[in-house]
Homo-oligomer: A and B are copies of this chain.
Amino acid sequence: MSKRKGGKRGLTPRAEDFSAWYNEVVQQAELADYSPVRGSMVIRPWGYGIWENMQRALDDMFKATGHQNAYFPLLIPMSFIEREKEHVEGFKPELAVVTHAGGKELDEPYVVRPTSETIIYAMYAKWVQSYRDLPLLLNQWGNVMRWELRTRLFLRTSEFLWQEGHTAHATAEEAEDEARMILGVYRRFMEEWIAMPPLTGLKSEAEKFAGAVRSYACEALMQDRKALQAGTSHMLGQNFARQFGLTFQNEEGREEYAWNTSWGVSTRLVGGMVMTHGDDVGLVVPPKLAPTQVMVVPIARGDDQAAAVMKKGDEIVEGLRGQGVRAAIDRRLHMSPGAKFFEWERKGVPVRVELGPRDLARGEAVVAVRVNEDGAPRKEAMSDAQVVAGMNDRLDALQARLLEAAIARREAATHRGEVSSVDELGELLDSGAGFVHSGWSGDPDVEARVKDATRATIRVIPGEEFRSASAPARCVGGGSAQMEVVWARAY
Q: What's the number of copies of this chain in the assembled complex? A: 2
Residues of chain A in range 22-56 having any CB-CB distance to chain B below 8 Å: 33, 35-37, 40-45, 48-49, 51-52
Question: Are B119 and A37 interface neighbours, CB within 8 A?
Answer: yes
Size of the chain A interface, CB-CB below 8 angstroms: 62
CA distance A460 to B100 in the complex (A): 35
CA distance A289 to B119 in the complex (A): 28
| Closest 9 pairs between A and B when the two form their complex, measured CB to CB | A102-B147, A40-B73, A45-B68, A43-B71, A96-B101, A37-B73, A97-B100, A101-B147, A99-B99
A-B contact list, 5 entries, CB within 8 Å: A42-B72, A43-B70, A43-B71, A100-B109, A143-B143
| A99: contacting residue among B72, B97, B102, CB under 8 A | B97
CA distance A101 to B161 in the complex (A): 19
CA distance A138 to B46 in the complex (A): 12
A120-128, A172-180, A314-322 - the one binding chain B = A120-128
Give a binary string over A100-144; 1 marks a CB under 8 Å from any B CB, 0 the rest: 111100000110100000010011001101001100001000110
Least Cβ–Cβ distance between A289 and chain B, in angstroms: 15
Find the B residue at minimum CB distance from A333: B132
Residues of chain A in range 65-94 having any CB-CB distance to chain B below 8 Å: 68-77, 80, 92-94
Q: Does A98 contact B (CB under 8 A)?
A: yes
Residues of B within 8 A of A119 (CB): 35-37
Question: Are A76 and B149 interface neighbours, CB within 8 A?
Answer: no
Question: Are B48 and A3 interface neighbours, CB within 8 A?
Answer: no
Question: Are B4 and A74 interface neighbours, CB within 8 A?
Answer: no
Besides A40-B73, A75-B96, 8 more A-B contacts (Cβ < 8 Å) are A4-B126, A33-B123, A35-B123, A36-B119, A43-B71, A48-B69, A96-B102, A102-B147
CA distance A73 to B112 in the complex (A): 13
CA distance A40 to B41 in the complex (A): 26
